Structure 1
């Protein structure tokens, strides 16, 4: 399958060679010392050099590292919906996206804990420009989404990506993860971009595109963090967009964001996997015979699942009340929680800048506003 070589993760036959190249890298040492603080370097190095498959690397090293990250930077991870998934079955997970590395890593931890097939996951090639990160991502079964291409090359790249993801699900029985939009959601408004669905459908081998989406077992995933460890880092881009300015990233911005997401405090985290979109797709097919309208309706069905199942935290309700100058949801948080959030606001942004303050609060408040479109939120 050499046509996928530009974007695919390592084959198992390539894993040991890659690990030999990485074993003495200072970043590997830092990662291992974090995951195994009481283990002598010689022991983990020996174990690493005896690793010959992605699964072994993920279970023996990546899984332990993520567990340690959860232990040190969160108040725990809860889940719902995983019990509805079938073992030995590949799913096409489409998810809201808040953190570069953790969203997929945490999903894989949950899949492994529930004896389900772990995912191959999409990652932008702009995020793994450093050789160490590229190798590590390929060891973690990430495949590359090529960014910044001219239109003709972008079309070819999209076709290749679509074909590869379909190949994984249909031929290798490997689950796939992709974000519902290009890049992370920075304003708290999770929405599925139709362009992502159109890209997925490029591999369509059915007469009807909805039959294709039904065949790949599309599952919406909702992930919510009580505190977004990269909230303040998202502000410059939000401010630029608010002022109709073109935002240009700093040289190491993606890398700093990636690290901040891993080591920053998150408090509680929740992941919900929705139902496989089958009845919804049947209904879309019955009601629409226009491809564009079908894609539009499918994007809405994914949004409905993600937004309704999004776990709201005290931080969301505090931000809503502060933003709207109300006490509507005061029963959903304590005074101490409010003080901690306000302190975070003061430390992380210029609270005297009204626009910036409103954008920061909206980032946390928008999930409440989105949930209200579906149901009244009962206050205790």
Structure 2
């Protein structure tokens, strides 16, 4: 028994049995029929039966599934900054988070295409309550983040996760993806939560936390979608928060978000790899001796990297101009793009609800507002 058994992905020795157990599940059949529409079921079942490692499952099945998703529901994925990364080297990718499944899946597609180490990725336990989904996540090298725990148990869980992330990065040479905050960004304001960095620092032991952060090679990642396929689904929670009401998530809400994120129209998608944080950490260490101030400074550096390198699309500039009743960015989009966006807004939300309309527009406009804080970024 390993102390990480409650949260870790499958070991390769467990993969084939897990696939055998999942092979006849309706979701597996739907996924394979979507990915390989012209292939008889017995063919992919036979191939799954010959699969004995996570890498083989990811490369031969998940990679193809995500390529099909891109083909059917987007105008393509573009990337930048991957040339900064070295092969056979592990990194801690800290990323903004917009889509439950695709953010990490698309990053891994890009890492694979560039011949780089793919990630183990954090996933909330609220998303893997059903046995099949938990098994599928473990087959895709996800590790579980336990949520909603009492303070004492949360501390223990954070300690365990920080130790597991350290083991992946420094002992197994496995890259790790983790979101900059708990849960997805609903309002377009990407911000790093200091609690994430404090959790990571728990594994530093006797080392200075900043020295440990240098050792694990932190890389900020920025991902942007021209259209958020779950934009309308985020509205109820945003409305509740705006009205200072407690939002209670529906029983099938997470699953509906996963499916909508996969099949919903995204148009163009971009992933940018920021600089590997190094000299920035030296400067933090020189300027601050207080651990909390060091964490705060690192939070700001990660935010700056993600916000400055976030790719803005015509939808972002349109939303900004409509929301602020201006034509400031009218040279960044066409009239056709503006009318398509207006049509999307009309179809996806109640246009008579001014508060909802404003929240919808702000979701797309806020990345522009945030980027404008950096003079040369927009």
Q: Given the two structures, how large is their TM-score scaled by the length of structure 2?
A: 0.99
Distance between the aligned counterparts of 1:377 and 1:65, measured in 2? 34
Match of 2:60 in 1: 60
Distance between the aligned counterparts of 1:196 and 1:5, measured in 2? 22
Match of 1:125 in 2: 125
Query: What is the CA deviation profile of residues 357-377 of structure 1, one whole-angstrom value per residue up to 9, with x for unaligned ones?
Result: 111000000000011001246
Distance between the aligned counterparts of 1:195 and 1:155, measured in 2? 11
Distance between the aligned counterparts of 1:278 and 1:264, measured in 2? 38
Deviates more, 1:251-260 or 1:197-206: 197-206
Match of 1:306 in 2: 306
Distance between the aligned counterparts of 1:137 and 1:251, measured in 2? 19
Query: What is the CA deviation profile of residues 48-84 of structure 1, one whole-angstrom value per residue up to 9, with x for unaligned ones?
Result: 0000000000000000000000000000000000011
8 Å contact kept, 2:204–2:212: yes
Distance between the aligned counterparts of 1:376 and 1:145, measured in 2? 37
SS at match of 1:65: helix
SS at match of 2:220: strand
CA-CA distance at 1:132 after TM superposition: 1.2
Distance between the aligned counterparts of 2:260 and 2:132, measured in 1? 18
Match of 1:213 in 2: 213
- List runs of 5+ in structure 2 lacking aligned partners: none
Deviates more, 1:98-107 or 1:129-138: 129-138
8 Å contact kept, 1:187–1:359: yes
Distance between the aligned counterparts of 2:377 and 2:124, measured in 1? 36
8 Å contact kept, 2:7–2:144: yes
Match of 1:352 in 2: 352
Q: Map of 1:271-350 to 2, 5 A cutoff?
A: 271-350=271-350
Q: Map of 1:83-232 to 2, 5 A cutoff?
A: 83-232=83-232
Query: What is the CA deviation profile of residues 286-333 of structure 1, one whole-angstrom value per residue up to 9, with x for unaligned ones?
Result: 111100000000000000000000000000000000000111111100
CA-CA distance at 1:207 after TM superposition: 3.1
Distance between the aligned counterparts of 2:142 and 2:343, measured in 1? 37
Match of 1:40 in 2: 40
CA-CA distance at 1:205 after TM superposition: 3.1
Distance between the aligned counterparts of 2:286 and 2:127, measured in 1? 41
SS at match of 1:2: coil
Match of 1:239 in 2: 239
Distance between the aligned counterparts of 1:207 and 1:101, measured in 2? 34
Distance between the aligned counterparts of 1:12 and 1:194, measured in 2? 34
Match of 1:17 in 2: 17
Q: Which runs of 4+ in 1 moved over 3 A?
A: none
- List runs of 5+ in structure 1 lacking aligned partners: none
Distance between the aligned counterparts of 2:177 and 2:166, measured in 1? 12
SS at match of 2:259: helix
SS at match of 1:4: coil
Query: What is the CA deviation profile of residues 74-104 of structure 1, one whole-angstrom value per residue up to 9, with x for unaligned ones?
Result: 0000000001100000000000000000000
Aligned residues: 378
RMSD over aligned CA atoms reads 0.8
8 Å contact kept, 2:308–2:377: no
1:265 aligns with 2:281: no
Distance between the aligned counterparts of 1:156 and 1:290, measured in 2? 24
Distance between the aligned counterparts of 2:131 and 2:78, measured in 1? 34
Distance between the aligned counterparts of 1:376 and 1:17, measured in 2? 53
Distance between the aligned counterparts of 1:246 and 1:277, measured in 2? 38
SS at match of 1:143: strand
Distance between the aligned counterparts of 2:19 and 2:252, measured in 1? 25
8 Å contact kept, 1:205–1:212: no
SS at match of 1:37: coil
8 Å contact kept, 1:206–1:212: no
Deviates more, 1:331-340 or 1:369-378: 369-378
CA-CA distance at 1:232 after TM superposition: 0.4
Match of 2:71 in 1: 71
